[in-house]
């Protein structure tokens, strides 16, 4: 028996396999954390490193739903917004609430919670919204489902902008305590990575992926299409809501406009670049897009390369993101990693004569020929 690291798309058999796959995903998160920790030493990089960790959680939340159900959601930023407002208001000290939100209903005005409960409240509020809207949304498939989730985002954004006693309406909500730390973000990331890996390889995750591939056949095997999708939707909303609550306690001030189309485009781009089917891909995609974005933003504000001053027109970073997205969809539609996951395998190497020859330890093809558009 030996332990080896593999990049595979299939389900690890048994409990040990699930543990190995979860540990593999955690290792990927650990590598990201280590790199983040090194960069965090530089004061100018601190906020970028924290935002990166939060975006990674967002993309993982997004992929838990999109990867397992094949439905492209344009509504996940709504769960981020709900998580940010719920977590932010819950964490706000009572005295600050009296000033910023004087019309807050009594039960909400009289309490303030710490960092971790605020994250759970943010995630829980988003999961509740998913549980309430899911039974209607999850009956839809394909493009209809995607457009309906976009509808959810528009509705939530408008409700937040109008619910002035709760949110200060379209104005910025401020005075959220700045509780988000490096440890807070990256411990949350590890927890969310473990949660989503465990789900992916669980019975519920398997049923969701079966419905994704062949809804009719899944039903003929006794799987409820609605229930299989709903669990993935609720879990992904929870993870996204936690990211929202982290975001709120990092920025301390935000408005409904912070959670709209630009944020949506960023999340979708990160997921597509990494590969929509997998957790390892979500981490990689977030890293690539963040680095690309930061580099271009520096070029925008002017850098000197080999003595020559380079000054790019502003807005170039967002345009470059669009170009990256188009190139990706054209040349590698399944993303950098596709549905493959980093996994630990506690198995003896497969002998060469056993089954279709695939040398032990070899990396299998990471794409499965499905484009994200097909889901």
Partner 1 sequence: MSAPPAPAAAGPGTGEPLLRVTGAVKRFSGLTALAGADLTLAAGEVLGLIGPNGSGKTTLVNCVSGALRIDEGEIRLRGRDVTRASRARRARSGIARTFQNLKLFGDLTVRENVLVGRNASPRGPSGGPSRDGGAAPAETPKDDVEGLLRDLRLEHVAREIVSTLSYGTQRRVEIARALAGNPRVLLLDEPAAGLNDGETAELKDLIHLIRTERGCGVLVIDHDMNLVLGISDRVQVLDEGTVIFEGEPREAFEQPRVVAAYLGAQ
Q: How far apart are CA 42 and CA 49, in angstroms?
A: 10
Label each residue of 23-70 as H, E or C. HHHHHHHHHHHHHHHHHHCCHHHHHHHHHHHHHHHHHHHHHHHHHHHC
| Least distance between partner 1 and beta carbon 75 (Å) | 24
| Least distance between partner 1 and beta carbon 289 (Å) | 25
In the complex with partner 1, which residue's Cβ is closer, 42 or 221?
221
In the complex with partner 1, which residue's Cβ is closer, 64 or 264?
64
Longest dimension (CA), the chain: 73
Residues at the interface with partner 1 (CB under 8 A)? 9-11, 13, 203, 206-207, 209-210, 212-214, 216-225, 277, 339, 354-356, 368-370
Taking a C-beta distance cutoff of 8 angstroms, is the pair 337, 274 a contact? yes
In the complex with partner 1, which residue's Cβ is closer, 12 or 244?
12
Three-state secondary-structure class, residue 305: strand
Q: How far apart are CA 206 and CA 228, in angstroms?
A: 9
In the complex with partner 1, which residue's Cβ is closer, 96 or 219?
219
Half-sphere exposure of 8 (CA within 13 A, CB side): 21
In the complex with partner 1, which residue's Cβ is closer, 246 or 339?
339
| Least distance between partner 1 and beta carbon 222 (Å) | 4
| Least distance between partner 1 and beta carbon 360 (Å) | 13
| Least distance between partner 1 and beta carbon 147 (Å) | 24
Task: Supply 311's token pair.
Answer: 């000054």
Angle subtended by helix axes 261-274 and 76-91, to nearest 10:
120
| Least distance between partner 1 and beta carbon 267 (Å) | 23
In the complex with partner 1, which residue's Cβ is closer, 17 or 88?
17
Q: How far apart are CA 242 and CA 163, in angstroms?
A: 21
Taking a C-beta distance cutoff of 8 angstroms, is the pair 200, 68 a contact? yes
Task: Supply 223's token pair.
Answer: 């799987």
In the complex with partner 1, which residue's Cβ is closer, 100 or 202?
202
| Least distance between partner 1 and beta carbon 253 (Å) | 43
């Amino acid at each position: 028996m030996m332990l080896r690291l593999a990049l595979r798309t299939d389900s690890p058999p048994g409990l040990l396999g699930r543990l190995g796959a979860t540990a593999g995903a955690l290792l990927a998160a650990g590598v990201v954390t280590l790199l983040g920790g090194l960069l965090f030493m530089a004061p100018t990089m601190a906020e970028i490193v924290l935002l990166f960790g939060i975006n990674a959680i967002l993309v993982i939340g997004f992929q838990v739903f999109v990867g397992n159900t094949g439905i492209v959601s344009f509504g996940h930023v709504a769960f981020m917004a709900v998580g940010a407002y719920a977590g932010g208001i819950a964490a706000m000290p009572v005295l600050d609430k009296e000033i910023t939100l004087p019309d807050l209903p009594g039960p909400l005005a009289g309490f303030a919670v710490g960092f971790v409960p605020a994250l759970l409240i943010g995630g829980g509020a988003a999961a509740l919204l998913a549980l309430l809207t899911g039974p209607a949304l999850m009956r839809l498939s394909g493009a209809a489902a995607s457009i309906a989730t976009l509808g959810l985002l528009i509705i939530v954004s408008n409700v937040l902008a109008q619910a002035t006693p709760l949110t200060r309406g379209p104005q910025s909500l401020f005075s959220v305590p700045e509780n988000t730390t490096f440890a807070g973000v990256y411990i949350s990331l590890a927890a969310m990575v473990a949660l989503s890996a465990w789900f992916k390889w669980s019975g519920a995750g398997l049923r969701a992926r079966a419905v994704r591939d062949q809804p009719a056949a899944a039903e003929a095997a006794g799987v409820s299409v609605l229930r299989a999708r709903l669990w993935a939707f609720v879990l992904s909303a929870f993870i996204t809501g936690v990211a929202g609550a982290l975001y709120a306690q990092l920025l301390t001030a935000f408005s409904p406009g912070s959670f709209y189309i630009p944020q949506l485009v960023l999340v979708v781009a990160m997921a597509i670049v990494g590969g929509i089917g997998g957790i390892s891909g979500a981490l990689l995609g977030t890293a690539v897009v963040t680095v690309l974005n930061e580099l271009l933003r520096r070029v925008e504000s002017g850098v000197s390369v080999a003595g020559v001053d380079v000054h790019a027109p502003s807005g170039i970073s967002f345009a470059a993101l669009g170009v990256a997205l188009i190139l990706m969809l054209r040349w590698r539609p399944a993303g950098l990693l596709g549905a493959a996951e980093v996994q630990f395998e506690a198995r003896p190497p497969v002998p060469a004569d056993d089954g279709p020859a695939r040398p032990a330890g070899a990396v299998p093809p990471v794409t499965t020929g499905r484009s994200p558009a097909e889901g």
